[in-house]
Chains A and B, each alone.
Chain A
Amino acid sequence: MKSIRMKRSRQSRNMYAYILIAPGLLLLTLIMIYPLVRGAISSFFTQQAASNHFDEFVGIRYYKELLRDPIFQTSFGNSIRYTVIVVAAQYVIGLAIALLLNQDFRGRGIYRSLILIPWVVPGVSAAMTWKWMFDSQNGIINQILMKLGLITQNVDWLGSQSSALYAVMVTSVWKAIPFVAIVLLATLQQVDQGLYAAVKIDGGSAFHEFRYITLPGIKKISITTILLETIWTFNQFDLVFTMTKGGPANRSMIVPVYTYLTSFSFFKTNKAAAIGVISLLIVSIPAILYIYYNNKEDE
Chain B
Amino acid sequence: MTKKRKMVLKNSFVYFAITVITVAMLFPFLWMISTSLKESVEMFSADPTFLPKQSSLQNYLTLFKEYNFLTYFKNSLIVSTCTTVVALLFATFLAYGISRFKFRGNAAISSLLILTQMFPLPLIILTIYITFVKLGLYDSRAGLVIAYCTFALPFCTMMLKSYFDGLPIELEESAAIDGCSPFGTIFRIVIPLAAPSIVAMGLFAFILSWQELMMSMTLIHTGSLRTMPVAITMMVGVRNIMWGPLMAASVVVSVPVVIVFIYFQKYLIGGMTMGAVKG
Which residues of A line the B interface, CB within 8 A? 13-14, 16-18, 20-21, 23-25, 27-28, 31-32, 34-36, 38-40, 42, 50-52, 96-97, 100-101, 103, 105, 111, 113-118, 120-126, 128-130, 132-133, 135, 137-138, 140, 143, 174, 177-179, 182-183, 186-187, 221, 224-225, 228, 231, 235, 237-238, 241-242, 256, 259-260, 263-264, 269, 272-273, 275-277, 279-280, 283-284, 286-287, 290-291, 294, 297-298
Contacts and interface: CB of A to CB of B under 8 A. Distances in A.
Given A36-B124, A122-B257, A103 B43 contact: no
Interface in B231-273: 232-233, 236, 243, 246-247, 249-251, 253-254, 257-258, 261-262, 265, 269, 272-273
B123 A280 contact: yes
B122 A237 contact: yes
B93 interface: yes
B126 A273 contact: yes
Contact of A242 (B48, B96, B213): B213
Given A20-B94, A276-B120, A182 B211 contact: no
Residue from B11, B25, B210, B278 with most neighbouring chain A CB atoms (10 Å): B25
B163 to A, nearest CB: 16
Nearest to B114: A291
Contacts of B111: 291
19 contacts: A21-B94, A21-B98, A24-B153, A31-B124, A31-B149, A34-B127, A39-B124, A120-B261, A121-B257, A124-B213, A125-B32, A128-B246, A186-B269, A238-B213, A260-B125, A260-B214, A269-B130, A277-B123, A287-B114
B146 A52 contact: no
Nearest to A147: B47
A287 B134 CA distance: 33
Given A35-B126, A120-B257, A120-B258, A52 B114 contact: no
B129 A124 contact: no
Given A50-B130, A237-B213, A32 B114 contact: no
B101 A17 contact: yes
A143 B48 contact: yes
A100 B146 CA distance: 42
B194 interface: no
Given A32-B116, A260-B214, A103 B261 contact: no
Contacts of A269: 126, 130
Interface residues of B, number: 91
Nearest to B131: A35
Contacts of B207: 120
Task: Determine the main DSSP class of A at the interface with B.
Answer: helix
B18 interface: yes
B109 A21 contact: yes
Contact of B114 (A242, A260, A290): A290
Contact of A50 (B117, B129, B229): B129
A231 B149 CA distance: 20
A123 B213 CA distance: 9
B177 interface: no
Nearest to A235: B120
A122 B211 contact: yes
Contacts of A179: 272, 276
